[in-house]
Structures are given as C-alpha cells and as structure tokens.
C-alpha cells in the first residue's frame, strides 16, 4: 500500500486513535518564485533549466542578491527547501567570473561534505567549466593529493575539526587559499551550540585572523534549521553583522504530524507501555507496507535495542539497519547509500541522521520519545517527505515528564517558537586552548584583540607558564608542542576508547566511545550492542583506552548508574533562595543493571570499579526550607520527585543536548546544610545553561506545578515525578504541597 492508503487505515483504526493526542495536517503549499538574476552566468542558468528549475525560490534569490552586495547572511528555512543553492549559486557564479577566487565550506560531518562535493562536481561537469575544482579535505583524504588540493582547489569542503587541527596550524601551506578567500560557508548552523559552538566561534576567530594576515576579508554564508535566535547565534559565531533570511519560498507537500501516547498498562501507577516497543511495532507496520521509514531514538543503547525489536517482526531483517555515533565510517556510508537506492526500508538512528545528509526520499519518521527541543523535533520530522510527497511523522512519547506534558499539551509544541541555541566563546577553558593555537599560528602583539576581546592578561598568564615568550611587544609560541592536537572541538576531551572484537583469532576494531561515556557503556561485563549483535566486554584497559569484547547471545542488555557529588567553590549571584556559581563535580559509576529484552525487567546487577571523574563547571542551586515535620524518607521523596520534574521541563527553556546539564538533589548539602537541588552544566567551565535556568527559576517551578497537577495518575508516576509505587505516591503529594506553598 502507498502512504495515503496507510493513512486512511490509521484514521479508521480505533485502537491507534485512542492513543493519539494530536493529529495535525500541514497542507501542501505553493512556492514563491523569482526570475534568475540578470548577472548570473548563463551556464548556471542553463544547468538549472536542464534540471527543470525554471526560476529560483524567493529565499534563494534574496540570498543571491545579499551575497552579491557583500553581506554576511544566515538562511533559516525548513528541510528540503533548497538551502544548498543559496550558497552554491553565488559562489559558483563568482568563480566563473574570477577563477582565482577561493571558497571554504564547513560541514559538521564528513558525510555532508561528501554529499555537497558530489553536487558541485555534477554542476561543474554539466556547465563545462574546468575552472571549478572541488575537493573534500578531511581525515580520509589521501596524502598524495593534499598538496594538489592546497594549490589548486577553488572550493575546499571540510569540517571544523580539520580546519582547527590541520588547515589553520599549517596556513603557510594554504597561502593561496587564504590570499584569495572570498567566501566561508557554514552549513547546519544550529548544530553549533553548547561546547561545539563555543569551540567553533574560537576557530573562526583564528580563521579570520589568518585571512586578514594574508589580506583577505571573507564573507560568511550560513544556513540553519529553525531555531529561536539564528541571527544572534550567527553574529555570536562570526562576531560581525549578519542579514537574516527566514521567509521560505519553497513549496511543501502535505505533512501529517501525530503525537502518540502509548497505552496505560497500570492506570493507578501511571505506567505506560514502553515507547521503544510501541515505536518498533509502528515501524514494522510501515516497513511491511514497503514505506521507507526512519526511527529516531535518543541514545546509542536504545538505537540498538530498537533495531533488535524491529528486525524480530520482519521476514527479512536485513531490510533494517542502525546508524549512530561510534560506528566506523564505512558502515555509515554503506547505510546512507542503501537508503538512497532503496535497498533498505528502515533505519534506526540517533540524532546522527538529523542533519541533511542525502538519504533519499523517506516517507515516514518515527520519533521514540520527544527529542527535548522543538527545533530537533522539526528537524527529525523533516527527514520524511523530502521530495514534495505526502509524509507522516509520529512522536511516540515516553513516560518522561516532558514527554507526557507534550502528550497532554501538544498545542504547546505547535504554538511555541523554537528554543534558543546558546554558546559561550569566552569560556575560560575554551578560550585559553584557542589562544595557544592562535599563538602557534601567528604571534600576538600587545593590545591585539582575539575576535572582539582584549587578551593581554591571558597571554601574560601563558607567558608566565613558559608556553609563550614576550619579545618586543610580541607573544611568540615557545614550546615544542602542537596545541591543536590536544584539543577536541566536540568535547573537552580528546580521549576516545576503541572497541576491539576478539571473537575470532583475527581481532578487529568495531567502534569507539568517548571517554565520558566509557564507564557507562563499556565497563567490564557490560553488554555492548552494535548493529544488532551483542558483545560482552571481557576487559577494559582504561590506561590504553581499549575495550576487548566477544560476541554473545543473551536476552538482556546493561544499563549503568552514575553517582554524582557536587561541591560549591564560589558564589557569583544570589536571588531569594537561589544561587549561581562555580562548583566541582565528582562522578563515578558504582554499579550496572541487567535489563531483560522486551519486558525491560531488572534481572541482575554488578559492581563497576573505575576511577572517579572530576570537573569544575558552573551551576545554579536552590534550597528548600528545613521541614522538620518530614521524615528523612519523605524529604528524599520530595527532592527526588521535584528534581525529576524540573529536569524534565528545563529543556523547554534552552536548546541543549540531553547530556548538556544534570540535576542532582541532596538531602543535606555540605554547602547549604539544607535540602538542595543543583543544576550544573555538564561541560567544564559551563556554556551558560545554568545561568539561564537561574534567571528562569520561578517560571520552571510554575511549569513543574502544571505538569504534576495535569498528570492523570492517581498517585505519583514516571510521567510526573519520575517514579511510581509508594515512593511516587509520596513524592507527588509532597512536591504538589511544596509548589503550592512556595
């Protein structure tokens, strides 16, 4: 059956509709068009007409005009709206008029860069231009052609990591690029938030500094999915004025967006069927009807569990694959190719496929749990119906408080603006690292600005440490180290653990895990899931960063607990019973649980013996009045329930990744000597999340009260206070009373 027929079936399915809390149909819309600019090279016009493009979308024409007027721009339009042409057309046109010109394209992933290279190569061949030399430059680029890319490439496509670690430190080899650099294109701008965005802002400071050294002042052309502050984010990243283009002129097919709340299995306790099981059941329905489907989930473990469930109901399990971080590049490329050519009908993915990688024309997108932000939700839903077809997107809500709030109030999702993306380029940890890199690249002079800030005090500090040497009012790099090699843009740790399969005599690397996830995912005796296959971790060599695994066939997976202790170092601001300041966080994984497949029962546990991790970061915390009438157990229930519901609603106020902040309740804080709840940024130094939540403390408590009062459970449940049974009943009553009296 085609999608329209399946939609008719769903509309008539009473069992399905009983769980639907909202079904919104966004009707198809006509496009708004503008003629090709008069100054556009006729070869480009002929190429577009050959592709049956008779006119430009209005936002494409507006982008072309502003770029030709030498304005920095950011284009914010939905998926499949032709954002690629907003930069390719003016860049290629400029190259045809001036073959000495250079352009640098930045993409957050290698896959996106490879997609764009193919598009540009096709354009170059069709218009018959030998001037248009397009190359990707990343870690996979053969050494034998790197010199040719540096010397002859007109458009170099790379990623921020390669720009940071290879191109900028070796700028003398890239002199031709920097001398003639006219455009810098930054795609998928919304991904540059949190630590990644803070790092990129400093990389761009270094890029502009080097370009200016060679006499160039490039324009910046940026594109983004919908966020609340695209202009602000763009201007914060490049530290210059930016023109915003947000009026979409592209036509759109009909989009069906459904919020589906899994059925209750115990109404009094508020326990619902697993969102993972429901998402797999729905996914099987579409795949069995040959409808190409993507199922998003929020973690690596749940992606692998979902893959197992999906395959179990299909005659041909090979029709479904998984896609997530930690897979090797060749596995990801193979999955992308098979999706494009229709060899596979389903893919289970983390947000790794949220970006605009070309994976063909998917028809259905299923989101296993609310992604945590309106922006990410629209981006994931937008992966279906990318070629003007009718599409279906289903958000299968989990039992988490925020998910249940969205299930009960879907109008919030459709009426609110997307969240803001936050970065903090002046985070001291980040800034110092990039000052080292910038000093290695070019010496600083006294009173020189790095971006918009004076950095003499920090440069003097680095000179005192022997890292820089001050001579004749210039700061020179004075050590033998290569600073960029020690800095990861994606986190504040370079350390990745590799996973080695030792099942056969020929050992092979099958994946990797970042350092902070390693204690949770690859501790000894953990079940590591990869491509539907289970592996048991036999040995974790923490010093060498290697995990040795063997293939097993068991009916459970593992889930580790994280124990966290917070110690206050300094208080920056106070407001009523709230404080904002600097804290030290001590984290350790003490044990893991064995979770049975399909039933999700806890069938065992074990201890984890790994070192404690420590971090300094920013936090906000608030104290609850000492309630002598409550027992210790009651106070623990109150704190746990309040912390759970606040952790659930906080993402409504900031665009953040799931692990960007954490909430820790303490019955008796060492610092306050009172019951206290801490919100801390999970990255060293913080990125501003705690500060924003500190300012919105009362609004969060208001929404927490609304979530709890609106929950239909008879007592506390996982959908409001995060726990059920007797503890949940106690927590709901206590949290409700506290919020009413505050």
Q: If pLDDT is split at 50, 70 and 90, which confidence band does 429 have? A: confident
Task: Compute the mean pLDDT over every residue in the chain, rounded to the nearest whole number.
Answer: 88
Q: What is the mean pLDDT of residues 579-605?
A: 91
Of the listed ranges 71-85, 394-408, 717-731, the least confidently predicted one is 717-731
Query: What pLDDT does residue 69 have?
Result: 97
Q: Is residue 493 within a helix (H) or strand (E), and if so which, with residue range?
A: none
CA 273 to chain centre: 27
pLDDT in tens, 333-392: 888 888 888 899 999 998 777 666 667 678 999 999 988 778 788 888 988 886 678 999
Q: pLDDT > 90: what percent of the chain?
A: 53
Query: Where are the extended beta strands (E) located within 187-254?
Result: 219-224, 243-245
Q: If pLDDT is split at 50, 70 and 90, which confidence band does 81 have? A: confident
Out of 89-93, 115-119, 510-514, 649-653, give the one with best mean pLDDT: 89-93
Q: What is the mean pLDDT of residues 276-301?
A: 93
pLDDT in tens, 377-407: 888 898 888 667 899 999 999 887 778 878 8
Cα distance between residue 295 and residue 171, in whole Å = 42
Contact 205, 35 (CB under 8 A): no
Contact 716, 736 (CB under 8 A): no
Query: What is the three-class DSSP state of 631?
Result: coil
pLDDT in tens, 491-547: 555 567 899 999 988 899 988 887 778 888 999 999 998 888 899 999 999 888 999
Structure tokens at 201: 């802002």
Report angle CA 566, 567, 568 to the nearest 5 degrees: 120
Q: Kind of pairing, strands 320-323 and 346-349?
A: parallel
Query: What pLDDT does residue 657 have?
Result: 54
**Distances in Å between the alpha carbon of 366 and those of 334, 360, 599?**
22, 16, 21
Q: When comparing pLDDT for 252 and 62, which is higher?
A: 62
Query: Would you say residue 682 has pLDDT above 90?
Result: no
pLDDT in tens, 202-224: 999 999 999 999 999 999 999 98
Q: Assign residue 472 a region: left if phi > 0, alpha if psi is -120 to 50, beta otherwise?
A: left
Q: What is the mean pLDDT of residues 594-608?
A: 89
Q: Do domains 3-28+253-415 and 33-245 have the same CATH topology?
A: yes
Q: Which single residue is written with the structure tokens 């705690």?
A: 690
Structure tokens at 321: 């694959």
Structure tokens at 312: 């179990």
What is the fold of 33-245? Answer: Rossmann fold (3.40.50)
Sign of the alpha-carbon dihedral angle for 74, 75, 77, 80: negative
Residues in CB range of 520: below 8 A, 6 or more apart: 560, 562, 589
Query: Would you say residue 485 has pLDDT above 90?
Result: no
Query: Where are the extended beta strands (E) located within 420-531?
Result: 444-445, 449-450, 453-454, 468-471, 474-477, 496-501, 508-514, 527-530
Domain limits of the chain?
Answer: 3-28+253-415, 33-245, 428-479, 496-554, 563-741
Q: If pLDDT is split at 50, 70 and 90, which confidence band does 284 have? A: very high
Cα distance between residue 374 and residue 549, in whole Å = 38
Q: The pTM is what?
A: 0.78
- What is the total residue count of the chain? 742
Structure tokens at 451: 């971006």
Q: What is the mean pLDDT of residues 135-142?
A: 88
Of the listed ranges 10-24, 159-173, 407-421, 665-679, the least confidently predicted one is 407-421
Of the listed ranges 19-23, 267-271, 695-699, the least confidently predicted one is 267-271
Q: Which single residue is written with the structure tokens 């994984």?
A: 589
Structure tokens at 595: 């979770």
Beta bridge partners of 570: 582
DSSP 180: T
Exposure b/e, 383-405, CB count within 10 A at least 16 = b = bbbbeebbbbbbbbbbbbbbbbb
Please give, one letter per residue, the 3-state secondary structure of 412-439: HHHHCCCCCECCCCCCHHHHHHHHHHHH
Residues in CB range of 517: below 8 A, 6 or more apart: none
Residues in CB range of 493: below 8 A, 6 or more apart: 514, 515, 516
CB count in 10 Å sphere of residue 607:
11
Backbone angles phi, psi at 332, to 5 degrees: -65, -45
Options 2.60.40.10, 3.40.47.10, 1.10.940.10, 3.40.50.300; CATH for 3-28+253-415 is 3.40.50.300
Cα distance between residue 89 and residue 118, in whole Å = 15
CB count in 10 Å sphere of residue 147:
10
Cα distance between residue 557 and residue 559, in whole Å = 7
Query: What pLDDT does residue 269 have?
Result: 63
Q: Kind of pairing, strands 508-514 and 527-530?
A: unpaired
Cα distance between residue 682 and residue 690, in whole Å = 10
> What spatial distance separates the first Cα and last Cα of the chain, rounded to whole Å?
56
Query: What pLDDT does residue 272 have?
Result: 85
Query: Would you say residue 410 has pLDDT above 70?
Result: yes
Cα distance between residue 735 and residue 216, in whole Å = 59
Q: Assign residue 568 a region: left if phi > 0, alpha if psi is -120 to 50, beta otherwise?
A: beta
Cα distance between residue 642 and residue 87, in whole Å = 47
Please write down the long-range contacts of 494-497, taking CB distance under 8 Å and 24 or more positions apart: 495/545, 496/545, 497/522, 497/540, 497/545, 497/546, 497/547
Q: Is residue 96 within a helix (H) or strand (E), and if so which, with residue range?
A: helix 83-97
Structure tokens at 575: 């407001």
Q: pLDDT > 70: what percent of the chain?
A: 94
CB count in 10 Å sphere of residue 494:
12
Cα distance between residue 234 and residue 222, in whole Å = 8
Cα distance between residue 84 and residue 80, in whole Å = 9
Query: Would you say residue 714 has pLDDT above 70?
Result: no
**Distances in Å between the alpha carbon of 133 and those of 103, 114, 170, 532, 728?**
11, 14, 21, 41, 63
Q: Considering only CA atoms, which of 76, 86, 152, 77 is closest in space to residue 116? A: 86
Query: What pLDDT does residue 493 have?
Result: 53
Cα distance between residue 592 and residue 573, in whole Å = 38
Q: How are the residues of the chain apportioned to helix, strand and coil, as percentages rounded to the nearest 5? A: 40, 25, 35
């Amino acid at each position: 059956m085609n999608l329209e027929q399946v939609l008719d079936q769903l509309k008539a399915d009473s069992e399905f509709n009983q769980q639907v809390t909202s079904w919104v149909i966004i009707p198809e819309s006509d496009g708004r068009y503008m003629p090709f600019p008069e100054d556009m090279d006729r070869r480009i016009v002929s190429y577009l007409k050959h592709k049956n493009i008779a006119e430009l979308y209005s936002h494409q024409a507006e982008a072309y005009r502003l770029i030709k007027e030498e304005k920095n721009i950011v284009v914010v339009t939905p998926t499949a709206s032709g954002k690629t042409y907003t930069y390719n057309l003016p860049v290629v046109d400029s190259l045809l008029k001036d073959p000495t010109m250079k352009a640098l394209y930045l993409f957050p992933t290698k896959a996106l860069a490879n997609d764009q290279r193919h598009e540009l190569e096709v354009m170059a061949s069709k218009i018959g231009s030998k001037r248009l030399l397009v190359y990707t430059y990343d870690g996979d680029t053969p050494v034998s052609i790197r010199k040719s890319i540096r010397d002859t490439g007109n458009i170099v496509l790379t990623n921020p990591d390669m720009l940071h670690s290879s191109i900028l430190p070796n700028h003398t080899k890239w002199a031709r690029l920097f001398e003639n650099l006219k455009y810098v294109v930054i795609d998928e701008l919304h991904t540059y938030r949190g630590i990644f965005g803070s790092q990129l802002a400093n990389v761009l400071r270094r890029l502009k500094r080097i370009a200016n050294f060679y006499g160039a002042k490039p324009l910046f052309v940026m594109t983004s999915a919908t966020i609340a502050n695209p202009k602000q984010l763009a201007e914060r990243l490049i530290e210059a004025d930016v023109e915003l283009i947000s009026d979409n002129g592209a036509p759109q097919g009909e989009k069906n967006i459904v919020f589906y709340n899994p059925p209750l299995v115990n109404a009094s306790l508020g326990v619902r069927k697993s969102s993972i099981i429901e998402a797999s059941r729905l996914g099987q329905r579409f795949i069995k009807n040959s409808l190409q489907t993507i199922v998003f989930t929020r973690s690596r473990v749940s992606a692998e569990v979902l893959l197992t469930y999906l395959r179990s109901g299909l005659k041909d399990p090979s029709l479904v694959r998984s896609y997530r971080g930690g897979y090797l590049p060749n596995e990801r490329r193979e999955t992308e190719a098979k999706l494009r050519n229709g060899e596979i009908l389903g893919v289970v993915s983390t947000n790794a496929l949220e970006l605009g990688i070309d994976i063909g024309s998917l028809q259905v997108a299923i989101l296993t749990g609310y992604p945590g932000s309106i922006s990410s939700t629209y981006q994931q839903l937008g992966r279906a119906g990318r070629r003007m077809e009718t599409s279906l997107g289903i958000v299968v809500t989990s039992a988490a408080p925020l998910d249940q709030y969205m299930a009960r109030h879907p109008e919030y999702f459709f009426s609110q603006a997307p969240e803001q993306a936050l970065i903090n380029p002046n985070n001291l940890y980040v800034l110092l690292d990039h000052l080292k890199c910038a000093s290695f690249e070019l010496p600083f002079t006294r009173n020189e600005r790095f971006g918009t800030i004076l950095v003499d005090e920090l440069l003097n500090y680095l000179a005192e440490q022997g890292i820089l040497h001050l001579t004749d009012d210039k700061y020179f790099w004075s050590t033998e180290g290569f600073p960029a090699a020690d800095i990861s843009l994606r986190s504040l740790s370079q350390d990745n653990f590799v996973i080695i399969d030792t099942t056969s005599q020929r050992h092979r690397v099958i994946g990797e895990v970042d350092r902070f996830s390693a204690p949770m995912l690859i501790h000894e005796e953990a079940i590591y899931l990869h491509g539907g296959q289970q592996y048991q971790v036999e040995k974790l060599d923490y010093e060498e960063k290697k995990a040795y695994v063997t293939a097993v066939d068991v009916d459970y997976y593992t889930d580790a607990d994280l124990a966290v202790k917070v110690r206050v170092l300094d208080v920056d601001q106070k407001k009523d019973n709230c404080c904002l300041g600097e804290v030290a966080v001590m984290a350790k994984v003490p044990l893991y649980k064995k979770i049975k497949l399909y039933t999700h029962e806890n069938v065992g546990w074990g201890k984890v013996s790994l070192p404690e991790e420590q971090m300094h970061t920013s936090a906000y915390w608030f104290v609850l009045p000492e309630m002598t009438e409550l027992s210790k157990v009651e106070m623990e229930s109150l704190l746990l329930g309040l912390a759970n519901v606040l952790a659930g609603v906080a993402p409504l106020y900031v665009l953040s990744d799931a692990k960007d902040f954490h909430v820790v309740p303490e019955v008796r804080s060492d610092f306050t000597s009172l019951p206290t709840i801490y919100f801390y940024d999970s990255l060293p130094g913080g990125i501003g999340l705690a500060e924003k939540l500190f300012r919105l403390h009362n609004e969060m408590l208001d929404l927490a009260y609304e979530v709890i009062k609106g929950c239909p459970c008879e007592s506390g449940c996982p959908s409001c206070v995060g726990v059920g049974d007797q503890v949940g009943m106690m927590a709901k009553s206590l949290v409700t009373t506290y919020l009413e009296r505050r």
